[in-house]
Amino acid sequence: MRRLTSGLVLATLTTIGASAFAETMAELAAKLNEDGKELMYSNKYAEASAKFREAVARVPEAKYFFNLCTSLFQEGKFSEALTACAAVEKNNPSGELTGKATKLTDRIQSEAKAQGLTVTAGGGGGLPDCQQDPNAAGCAPPPATCQTDPGLPECQPQQPPPQGNPVVGRPPTGTGVFAGTKAGDNKYIWTIGGNFFGGGGTIGQPDVYGNTAYGLELHGNYLFNPAQRIGAQAYVQYAEFSQNEDGTGGGVGLSSVDLGVGLYKHLCPPSTERLCLTPMIGAHLALYSPEFDQFDGEAQFNYAAVGVRAELGLEYAFGARMEHVLSVKFGANGYTGVFSGPDEFDGISAEMAGLDKGGGYGYFGIGYTHRFSTPLGSSPLVTLE
């Protein structure tokens, strides 16, 4: 009875030890994988590959092989990348992950072909089939040995040995191999968006045009300094000014189009990544079309001035990668008098049109912006696991 009890105690302790060791290895692999992804987002591909290799050495999961395939491809190590992608299928991947690995494999082969290289899986990388051979170098240590003494040398992470001469080329010539930002990161590369706005002010000589303005603004942003969250914006702002029924203009309305560029900065406290204040300042060319200068009901925009714009936006980002942004904006536009327009022989002069004087208006707007984490004109081939 005493021997039986001792045996049960030993078996229980062995099981608990094995479970704790397996959990520790899984936690280490998960952390290494996250470290590798962070390095990928910083374009440090060689360092990322080293982290992913360590992850698969501890726990040979399909997702770690897939991330390793992606980082090796970004390094230009095509044959090693194909070997890593091939290992995805051999380690119980989901259907979605299998599809992603196939798509990435096709991209690797097409890139190698474009560089005049012939590449097949197995030329370097040395990544094993851990299901068929769990004792292979690079796989998790043999359970029977490591359960009893996880400190043994053979239980430590092993680096896969090289096999053959790997085919190495230039890093991918295309862009957008993987999503360039991590989930929950309030950074991006470029955006498109728009706002509806309304406000009031005066343009030109007093009492010629109305004091109410409303319109639509479209913009595109480029975040050229992600670390400081500083970007540039190109915008088009269309506004309609109401008629001044009681003024000397006899009920004349005014349309304007502003074509401008500006600089902005996101102010996003770490505790509220999704909610940011975004001040912006810009300069634009303003084109005016008074109602009396329209031809067959179409605006002519024959009068030109210059202006400035100051704006403060309160933005809320949502979505898996904060790609959707809702905003409310408070801003003001200022304008000089018209510097170019028809003369009295070709039409109504700027002075007669009441546009020889400058002006400005304040506005409140609401809008939507969509963010993209890959270069303009491309989309991510895959997202990291």
What is the architecture of the domain spanning 2-155?
Alpha Horseshoe (1.25)
Distance CA 267, CA 277 (A): 5
* Backbone φ/ψ region at 41: left (φ over 0), alpha (ψ -120 to 50), beta: alpha
3-state SS, residue 240 = strand
Domain with CATH 1.25.40 in the chain: 2-155
- Report which of 199, 234, 210, 221 is spatially closest to residue 365, judged by C-alpha positions: 199
Distance CA 227, CA 299 (A): 43
9, 185, 266, 315 from 273: Cα distances, Å: 51, 8, 10, 10
First-to-final CA distance of the chain: 51
For residue 8, report the phi and psi dihedrals to the nearest 5 degrees: -65, -40
Q: pTM higher than 0.75, yes or no?
A: no
3-state SS, residue 86 = helix
What is the architecture of the domain spanning 190-372?
Beta Barrel (2.40)
Distance CA 256, CA 13 (A): 80
- Report which of 298, 278, 172 is spatially closest to residue 233, judged by C-alpha positions: 278
Distance CA 286, CA 199 (A): 17
Domain with CATH 2.40.160.20 in the chain: 190-372
Contact of 255 with 299, CB cutoff 8 Å? yes
pLDDT tens digit at each of 385 positions of the chain: 555 455 554 555 455 454 554 568 888 888 888 888 888 877 788 898 999 998 888 888 888 898 898 888 888 888 888 888 888 888 888 888 888 888 888 888 888 888 777 776 654 444 444 555 555 544 544 444 445 555 555 455 544 444 456 667 666 655 456 655 454 456 788 899 999 999 999 998 888 888 999 999 999 999 888 878 899 999 999 999 988 765 444 567 889 999 999 999 999 887 777 899 999 999 999 999 888 766 555 667 889 999 999 999 999 998 877 889 999 999 999 999 999 887 665 667 888 888 999 999 999 999 999 988 766 545 555 677 6
DSSP 161: P
Contact of 296 with 317, CB cutoff 8 Å? no
pLDDT for the residue 121: 62
The residue length of the chain stands at 385
Contact of 75 with 53, CB cutoff 8 Å? no
pLDDT for the residue 144: 43
